Amino acid sequence: MRVALLFAMQAEAAPVIRALGLVPGAHSVDERFGFVQHHGDYRGLQIVLATNGHDAVHGVDQIGTQATVLNAYLTLTANQPDLCINAGTAGGFVKRGGAIGDVVISNGVVRYHDRRIPIPGFDAYGVGSYPTLVRPEIATRLGLREGSISTSDSLDATPECHARMDAHDTQAKEMEAASIAWVCAKLAIPFVALKAITDLVDGGLATETEFLANLHLASERLCDRVVAFLDLLADEPQVFALQGDA
């Protein structure tokens, strides 16, 4: 079985690269964009792990949907995985029971909360509502919180963003999942997102401060659950029913 693991930031991916013993890809998909790939075999699973690399102008990780759409497309079409996992960090919500270090697994649909096109048809198109794999047993077995994941291209959120996240009972606010889910929907590749909470959107602290303070901790916690996810996939693939066999 082939599995694609997509991360936006190198810091989010580094513990997983180490834990799985992955090695840098011999060929970059398109070196002009700076995307990075690692490959390896983990317990019989063929893994490709892609990160968005760094922006040549600003020297920062190429977070957000713009780089992610293209990296996802290039990685997925080149590797034709049976499952695509988007792993990363996210903001949680105290008012919906979230806590730092929780790992949220997507609950069936990922949406955008920053795309408003108030014309019939275009409105729903903008929100996206892309499908994700739903296997409640996975959350139970791995101690994950199944919840609504919502994407925007901003680390903060406007009142309009909050209204949309409230309406969708968002558990994890992040910056990439919907863009990968869109590519997966078009390519008919099953998609799941795993997001570790680094900051509490409604917790009273500045997101950027809390995000940076907890990025390392959350990335380690994320790694632990990603490896457990892959172990379950290697040991009991029937739980995932990727071939429609359940």
- CA Rg, the chain, in Å? 17
Q: Are residues 20 and 30 in contact, defined by beta-carbon separation less than 8 angstroms?
A: no
Looking at the chain, which runs of residues are DSSP E strands?
2-6, 23-24, 36-42, 45-51, 83-92, 103-112, 130-131, 145-151, 170-174, 191-200
Is 199 among the residues known to form the active site? yes
Residue 76: which H helix or E strand, with range? helix 65-79
Are 86 and 180 in contact by the 8 Å Cβ rule? The answer is yes
- Distance CA(172)–CA(182), nearest Å, equals 18
Part in contact with its own copies (CB under 8 A); list of ranges 93-101, 164-172, 179-187, 217-225 = 179-187
Select from 58-66, 86-94, 163-171, 219-227 the region that touches its own copies (CB under 8 A).
58-66
Residue 123 beta carbon to its own copies: minimum distance, rounded to whole angstroms? 9
Kindly state the smallest distance separating residue 58's Cβ from its own copies, in Å.
4
Q: Which is nearer to its own copies, 151 or 171 (CB)?
A: 151
The answer to whether 124 contacts its own copies (rule: CB under 8 A) is yes
Size of the site for its own copies (CB under 8 A): 47
- Out of 12, 114, 174, 210, pick the active-site residue: 12
- Between 112 and 240, name the residue whose CB sits nearer to its own copies: 112
Closest separation in Å from C-beta 94 to its own copies: 21
- Here the contacts of 22-31 (C-beta below 8 Å, separation 24 or greater) are 22/47, 22/49, 29/71, 29/74, 29/75, 29/78, 30/74
Nearest CA among 203, 19, 5 for reference residue 102:
203
Q: Does 26 bind its own copies (CB under 8 A)?
A: no
By CB under 8 A, residue 168 contacts its own copies: no
Decide if 146 is catalytic: no
Number of residues that make up the chain: 246
Site membership for its own copies, residue 167 (CB under 8 A)? no
Binding to its own copies by residue 115, rule CB under 8 A? Answer: yes
Q: How far is CA 220 from CA 10, 15, 40, in A?
A: 13, 6, 20
153 in contact with its own copies (CB under 8 A): yes
Which listed range, 60-68, 133-141, 193-201, 224-232, lies at the site for its own copies (CB under 8 A)?
60-68
In the complex, which residues of this chain contact its own copies (CB under 8 A)?
30, 32-33, 55, 57-66, 69-70, 73, 77, 112, 114-119, 121-122, 124-126, 153-156, 158-160, 179, 182-183, 186-188, 207-208, 211-212
> Which positions are catalytic?
12, 199
